[in-house]
Structure 1
């Protein structure tokens, strides 16, 4: 590369040399005439370089011409006869010999300079092509990572026309990008193009395509691709096995996963790390499918083989015990993790915090939170979200707000779900003022309220008996470009029914139908309750029959409302008949 740069930098000098050389040839023509004149005039000392012509030559060539002149002066002295009695015939061949020698030497020198420049140009062009190709490959990789597959395919097509068929790595970038965006049809087309035109796909190509099909839960297609790999001379590796085993475990096909594992793995190529990964995948699938015995047997097999467990393996078994709510065993394996020299990571702590919050053991969750902070593991969005949700569910939005402030102090902007949980927590406690304060703080930090935010505020207003304010929030939603959903309408219909405003409830029912929302069992239950409160038992019975015929999933609430109304009306036979229908409906 350095040679090419030097050649490139000296290109102007070489051009000047060419120009000077041509001037030299013109000067030589003039000197030939002078040589003839000197010969015929009897001069034995031939001075090749005349001062008049030296002034016309470039300064960089003066020494060169002088040396050439001296050389040929010496040569001509030897060629000419020593006696001064030579005639015209004797001197003429020597003159032409001098001319031939001078012209030949100049032409050889020009040829050498031209070849040096040509080779420099060829090397520079080759280097430029190589750099352009590498830059295009890097651009394709970056475009695929950004999800800009249209631009990546356009550049790939342009490269193919300019440089020929791209390498397998470039094709793998494209296949991976297409699989991540869910365009499996185009990804498979690209693999077929590789098989037809080249380059031949490798194991990584097939692994990427199989993983893409597994992500959309099309395991059958992935297995079909796996079966075709030997036809093209491609041997599956451990990654192939892990992809298929994980997909089969997700579908609950544990036996098929174990059978596949035994078929495609070459024991001679196994390593401790690959064995651990595959066994961990199988163990995770067993836990998620409720097969605790098989999962523990896999753990025991790894222990008996002397496999060095890693943090992921411990996380899997701890998560498995948390799924069955067996906190004692989860704690035991967490302690064993410490004893083996491994430190729990954020996934370990989040798993324990999650199960403790679900069990209502908030104090223990606080303890785990404090332990992870002391161990230098920073809580993330998931850690805070689980603790805040647990606090709000069990009626402590004030402490949940403290964790929210802790997130903000640690420069973690909470996602909308966390803000909405605290707003709903304050609303359920009847603290409307703090609920709106959290909403305002949410907007101040650049997090826009969504439909769940407004539904939580509407629920808080209805719970406080403020139906007018709830409808005002509905108008505010529309002004912000957020349209009410089924939950919004059910809240407002329920509020109208509770206040005995059946007309407003029916208007809301019609409005939701116009907006494309089909009323569910909650909507009809509220309307049936409203009819019963107003004493319109006939309308309530008709609406109940309509619900039964609609095929909507129905629960026990409408039955209980009507039976309670029949009992108040002293119509026990109708109440008993409805009770019998309820029993038969459950069956």
Structure 2
């Protein structure tokens, strides 16, 4: 058997579709493709059956034109092989075979495509062969001059990121070292960040720090992402003091922190139960012109509420709103729930009103909780106004809460107001049910308003809410017999 055939056998990927069996070399050498012979055998040697070999051979003859160039091969891989259900898994096999042809050289386009394809499909062993064996030994033609191909680093960066995502940090480190030897100058900070984040994500904080030290030795300037990754790692490792030191180093290196930097430190302060320090960090954000995000507010408000400092959270939120720094989209449900649970529905109402002033919707959970809180506090007046405002803004209550509020209003002899609210709710899609009508009819009965009550009974009859004549007569008789009833 010829040397080229043995080489092809060694190159063949190990899968259920391929095998390490020899086939007579004569049947594989000098296979014609569109009338042209190749000095290297086509990649059919390791296929499982002669039928599959012949099918692939016919497919190659039809779609792969000779002489092969990177453009032709890439078009074949992307537009022909990739969509073939039988042969798509052989993309690496075809790619590897092409690299053995003496007259052919892969360029950065083919390298980039195969690296991305293998990485996305989690074929990491094959990917390792490409970036550690083929690319270093057979570089892109762009590297023939004084400088290396400018696409080498982006290609390797994608591979490193994929290995980090899969938790294969040793492979990622080896690929990073190989890349450093191939590129001109030092790697960009983005590549360092990917690997540092990979170490941190997998709990290897010491390795992340060593790589950061290497970054400094290489005179690569760390950016805000570098510092954020390490600050977060320190906080997760309960080394908040070191996180603060790194934050100071960040400022000393003229690297401006962003909202993620501050959010991470605020969470760290709260974890250490240094709540006022965390709040001060938020105000420092404002002072530096760093926009407070919804996440920042959630960290502050939720953290303070969980620590039993609901009043401080309320004061902070109101102050943010008055300063005009409250972010769009912030949802205040947790604060409203905490205030209502502490029987402070008045402040909860103020929070919701402040949300509306800033153009933020308080959310259905906050509104329902507040309605219940106001009802429990006996503040039916504000509850009715709140529900009316909610309905006008398109926020609908559930029928149970709505009916309970109407019943409270009726007990206060404000049935007409409750009825108007019922009509407003109906116009907004919250239709009255049998319970709603019974509550209002009972209210009108107590107030001796027979005409209004009879009108509701007629509505019930029209909506088939009254099942028989006896029920109808009972409601009408109740209204007429209690014309002068007062409670």
TM-score (norm 1): 0.40
Of structures 1 and 2, the larger Rg is shown by 1
Tell me: higher relative CO, structure 1 or 2? Use CA pairs within 8 A at least 6 residues apart.
2
TM-score where L is the length of structure 2: 0.47
